[in-house]
Structure formats: structure tokens, C-alpha cells
Structure 1
Amino acid sequence: MKELYIKQKVFSIGEKFTVTDENQNDVYYVEGSFFQIPKTFSIMNENRGEVALITKKVFSFLPKFFVEVQGKEILTITKELSFFKARYTIDAEGIEVQGNWWDMDFEVYKQGQLVGQVNKEWFTWGDTYKVQIFDEAMETIVIAVVVAIDCVKSDEAAASSAAT
């Protein structure tokens, strides 16, 4: 089992943050596009080579996010039409997310096998998520899923604050 931590800075202008291991060594770098259409988040390895890309669909009635890992689309997160509470669906071939992903407390399964678990760390400056990887071959995919879900939450919060 491998433990990784995603810690976002509270006041990050360019939406940049890192994924670290348990010794606080940088393992992945995440950079969001700044004033770019379509909105993207690039996940890079320690050599700054892109391993995953999250893209928000531009012209869509409801928000939709695409997640690519190593050039292959692995999942889509789509907002459903609802009147009271935001509802999203995750569509992925062989990948399933179970738990309360809105509160960042969930598990990631591939064909029924647990490959990762995510828990939000409380009482930290900024958002920190502990990611446990049970299948290291799925590490990049699990990190991409966590970042994508966080992008969806961020987008929803921005839309809510703009509406008020």
C-alpha cells in the first residue's frame, strides 16, 4: 500500500498544487489553466511529463468533465438536472467510485477490486486529501479521479458564489 497526500494551497492564483508521498516528497504536480478555454488541469509526474488531463466541456447545457490518462479517456463526470441539490454521475468503463465523494471520503474500484481510498484530512490549512493506493498500477488513475472530483466541487462552488 502506498500513501499520497494532495494539499491545495488556499490562495493559489494559477491553481497549482502538488501530490506528495508520506515523506513530503513531490510525486505529482497539478496545474490548472489560467483564463483559458476550455478549462483544463494537467497532472504531471516528477519529471514534469504529463500523465493525465482533465478538461471541462465548453459548450454544454450542464457541466461535464473528461478525464484522460496517458492519452486515453477513462471517465466522464456529468452534472444531472436537479432542482434542490447538485447531483453528478461518474461514467467510467470498469472503474467505480463508492462513498461520499462530495465530502472526499470514498473508495475507487476497478472491476470490483478496491484500488484506492480517499479521505479528507481535517484541521489543516487548505484542503488536504489522504489517498491510499492498493494497486500501484492504478496510481495515476486514482490521482486523476481525485483531482477531477475536486475540480467538479470547485466549479460547483464557483457557480454557487456567482449566483449569489
Structure 2
Amino acid sequence: MFVIKERLFALGDDFDVLDENGTKVYRVDGKVLSVRNKVVIENADGDEVASVHRQLIALRATYEIQIGGEKAAEVRKKLFTPFRDKFTIDVPGPDDLEMKGDLLDHEYVIEQDGTEVASVSKRWLTIRDTYAVKVADGIDPLLIIGSVLALDLALERDAEKKPGKDD
């Protein structure tokens, strides 16, 4: 179990990732001036262990996750899914994942071959974005955390595009 909690006084999308004991295991640095909507995940020693960035040339919202400097997955929002968010987490090889959730409830599940491997719940009544994330054994938590951060970036981008946002 992890909690991804946005930092209250931060520039960009900065988060702390806490384990089930409340210990900070990762720091997420949202690059403020990044054109590519990039976030960097650092371990407790401040070393980069993963990153997530938006691909600029893509038909639909697409985010690349790198773990240890290697491409680990592409997270793509499905084009038309009324009343639900659906994302494909395309990993190298045949074991792709699918993240789907309810737009209104902000509850998501991540499945692999129809089996739930993670669940994500966005907490509502908090000042800052907070996600509770459960990851099944055998699944790389950095892949799931990166996917949740890609989801957050995509939802934020969608909110910015809505008409009347800056009227």
C-alpha cells in the first residue's frame, strides 16, 4: 500500500510517496517549466529511479514511463469511453495492463489479463491531490506509481482544456 500525496507548497506537480507505515519512500519532482509535462521519481537518497513524461507527437494523451533509464511502459488514454476513464499501460512484451475508472468517483483498477493487480483511490476531501494505491505482489510498484502519475497529468491536462477554465 502506498499513498501519493501532493506537496502543499510546491511549484509544479510535486508529490511524496509514502509506504503503509507513513515513511517517505519516493519524492516526485514535477518539472515546472517542462513542455513535456515531466515528473521525476527519486528515491530517499535523491537519486532518479523513474520518470514520466508526455509524448508531444501522439494522436491521444500518451505518457512514457522510464524506470532505471529504460522505457518501461507507455500509458495511453483510450479515445472514446463515455463516463469512464480508460488507459492502456503498454509494457514491452505481451503483458499489457489496463487502467479503468469512474470519472465521478475517482476510483480506478489496474488489470492484467482481466485480473486486478492494483487499485487506486483519489481522496476527495483533501486540500491537495492524494491517491491511495494498493499493488499486488509480483507487480513493480514503480510501474504502478508511474501510471498513477500519468493519470494525474492527463486529468490535469483535460481540466485545463475545458471551456471556461480561464474566462
Please identify which structure carries the higher helix content. 1
CA distance in 1, matches of 2:46, 2:21: 20
Asked whether the equivalents of residues 107 and 114 of structure 1 are also in contact (C-alpha less than 8 Å), the reply is yes
* Alpha-carbon separation, structure 2, partners of 1:137 and 1:79: 23
Conserved? CA contact 2:55–2:64, under 8 Å: yes
Deviations 1:95-134 (A, max 9, x none): 3234416443122233444322111223222121111122
Instruction: Choose between structure 1 and 2 for higher RCO, CA contacts under 8 A separated by at least 6 residues.
Output: 1
Aligned position for 2:26:
28
- Structure 1 stretch 53-62 or stretch 13-22: which is displaced more? 53-62
Q: Give per-residue Cα distances to partners, 1:36-60, cap 9 Å, x unaligned.
A: 2332111122222222211112245
Amino acid of the structure 2 residue aligned with 1:37 = V
Q: Unmatched 5+ residue regions in structure 1?
A: none
Q: Percent identity?
A: 23
Cα displacement (A) at 1:23: 2.5
**How far apart are the structure 1 equivalents of 2:155 and 2:133?**
17
Partner of 1:64: 62
Contact 1:80 1:89 in 2 (8 A): no
Contact 1:57-1:66 within 8 A present in 2 as well: yes
Partner of 2:109: 107
Amino acid at match of 1:117: S
Conserved 8 A contact 1:14-1:34: yes
Distance in 2 (CA, whole Å) between partners of 1:96 and 1:24 is 28
1:71-108 per-residue CA deviation (whole Å, 9 max, x = no partner) reads: 123123246379x9896642514232344164431222
Q: Which amino acid aligns with 2:40?
A: S
Residue in 1 that maps onto 2:73 = 74
What does residue 145 of structure 1 align with?
Answer: 147
Distance 1:131 1:77 in 2: 20
1:14, 1:60 → 2: CA distance?
23
From 15, 18, 35, the equivalent of 2:16 is 18
Question: In structure 2, do the counterparts of structure 1 residues 113 and 59 end up closer, same or farther at CA, with 3 Å as the change threshold?
Answer: closer
CA distance in 2, matches of 1:87, 1:107: 11
Residue 133 of structure 1 aligns with an amino acid whose one-letter code is V
Q: Which runs of 5+ in 2 are unaligned?
A: none
Query: How many residues matched?
Result: 161
